[in-house]
Structure 1
Amino acid sequence: MAHSSVPHPAFDALLFDMDGTVLTSIAAAERVWTQWARRHGLDVDTFLPTIHGKRAIDTVRDAGVPGIDVEAEAQAILEAEVADVEGIEPITGAADFLASLPRDRWAIVTSAPRRLAERRIEAAGLPLPENLIAGDDVTRGKPAPDAFQLGAKRLGVEAARCLIFEDATAGVQAAEAVGASVVVVSALHSAATDTPHPSIPDYRGVSSEVLDDGRLRVHLP
């Protein structure tokens, strides 16, 4: 449930997931994964909810398809996703909110490989962050905490002192694992909103202020 008119405490930095959190790529991703699932005889309706918030290689591995080359399949999916950016747009208000933040105080932390992340950010017309943590920067993907820990490290802060924006259950679990505060973005699906964390449909009415000590205070509508 969304919390109204409640400012968060001050944070050292903000970390954002990408897909479903600052941009809409779910339709494009599901087009590619639907083809893959059908090719391997999987039930599409059951399989698609498992792709969100995770690295492709982990999704392929967890699908349990026998006799496949997991790395080769993940690479083929990457190529297909890079080629299909139709319909990718920013989440409402995300561009303005990101532009309002000091560039050295936020990062995007995504499960997508760097090549795909940069392609989707460009397609959505969003600014490429100074700090981008991609799925190929870590050995363990979400829900493991590694990506958020690395994102905070790159910003020179502790992950537990960050505010993390997420949309998928795996990402929320990763954020919880580092002890960070979380805001769930429910613009595209509500799978992760069954949590104690505040949620927002998009970034309309979300604002921030830089305090005298350099920390950020975020206000939710």
Structure 2
Amino acid sequence: MDYYCNLSKYRGAIFDMDGTLVDSDTAIAKAIAPWCQRHQLDIEQVLRDGRGVRFEDYVKQYLPHLDLHQEVKHLEGAEATFAKYVKEIAGAKAFLTYLQQLNLPWALATSADRDNAVERMRTCHLPIPTHLIGAEDVQQGKPDPEPFTAAANKLGLPCRECVVFEDSDAGVQGALSAGCDVVVVGRFCQLSHSNIVARINDYTNWNAKLLHGREAC
């Protein structure tokens, strides 16, 4: 079921990146496949359980005995080599451009490291936000609310005045815990909550669904 949301009630927006602004599923799968094979991990399970979380949390969950810093650096480096497989979620650039025209400030709260986040946004010709919270900028990653509270702080706004765009269970849980309303992007998150104010497949119909909806959220 789709819900409809009028964005005019918010003073800021916070976006996840992977699965929300860019489709990086192929790049991430290619990056972690050799790592999973080397450590005899089920790649499908790792991809499923790890959607929306940091590489640091992958390692802590599956291989806590390994050198955390070394493994994360290896995975981040592998991920960077497959940047060419990343593509824009349909309509994302136009939507971000429109938010700028509306003077609605936005921030990025991603589980990717900052370097990979900037590279993916550039690869997809998306604007680089002034405020970017990456994996290394928080003590606790999603589903903890810290990435979203940090992004809201960067915007100079309370979380309740921000709307979050997210695709994963972990991200949606974190945003809700922070006190934000949430627009779910894509088909992966099936959570139900009164503060999930819209569901969209992509941004191609954003004008109808998000700005001039039948129900004000």
Structure 2-normalised TM-score?
Answer: 0.89
Unpaired segments of 5 or more residues in structure 1? 209-216
The aligned amino acid for 2:77 is E
- Would you say how many aligned residue pairs link Structure 1 and Structure 2? 208
Q: Deviations over 1:60-113 (max 9, x none)?
A: 1111x2642122111100011111112211110100000111366111110111
Aligned to 1:143: 143
Quote the Cα distance in structure 2 between the aligned partners of 1:153 and 1:8. Answer: 20
Deviation at 1:129, TM superposition (A): 1.0
Shift of the 66–151 alpha-carbon distance from structure 1 to 2, 3 Å rule, reads closer
Q: Check conservation: 1:89, 1:125, Cα contact below 8 A.
A: no
The aligned amino acid for 2:78 is A
Q: Check conservation: 2:140, 2:146, Cα contact below 8 A.
A: yes
> Which residue, out of 80, 87, 90, partners 1:89?
87
Residue 47 (str. 1) matches residue 60 (str. 2): no
Unpaired segments of 5 or more residues in structure 2? none
Q: Pick which of 11-20 and 65-74 moved more.
A: 65-74
Shift of the 175–163 alpha-carbon distance from structure 1 to 2, 3 Å rule, reads same
> Which residue, out of 81, 98, 101, partners 1:100?
98
Quote the Cα distance in structure 2 between the aligned partners of 1:59 and 1:42. Answer: 11
The aligned amino acid for 2:27 is A
Runs ≥4 in structure 1, deviation > 6 angstroms? none
**Identical amino acids, percent of aligned pairs:** 34
Residue 192 (str. 1) matches residue 192 (str. 2): no
Aligned to 1:120: 120
Where 2:144 maps in the other structure, the secondary structure is coil
Quote the Cα distance in structure 2 between the aligned partners of 1:47 and 1:220. Answer: 37
Quote the Cα distance in structure 2 between the aligned partners of 1:71 and 1:219. Answer: 47
If each structure's helix is expressed as a fraction of its own residues, which one has the higher value?
A: 2
Where 2:115 maps in the other structure, the secondary structure is helix
Shift of the 66–176 alpha-carbon distance from structure 1 to 2, 3 Å rule, reads closer
Deviation at 1:160, TM superposition (A): 1.6
Quote the Cα distance in structure 1 between the aligned partners of 2:213 and 2:40. Answer: 44
Q: Check conservation: 2:11, 2:104, Cα contact below 8 A.
A: no
Structure 1-normalised TM-score?
Answer: 0.88
Residue 111 (str. 1) matches residue 108 (str. 2): no
Residue 13 (str. 1) matches residue 18 (str. 2): no
Q: What do you get for the CA RMSD once the two structures are aligned? A: 1.9
Quote the Cα distance in structure 2 between the aligned partners of 1:170 and 1:98. Answer: 23
Aligned to 1:165: 165
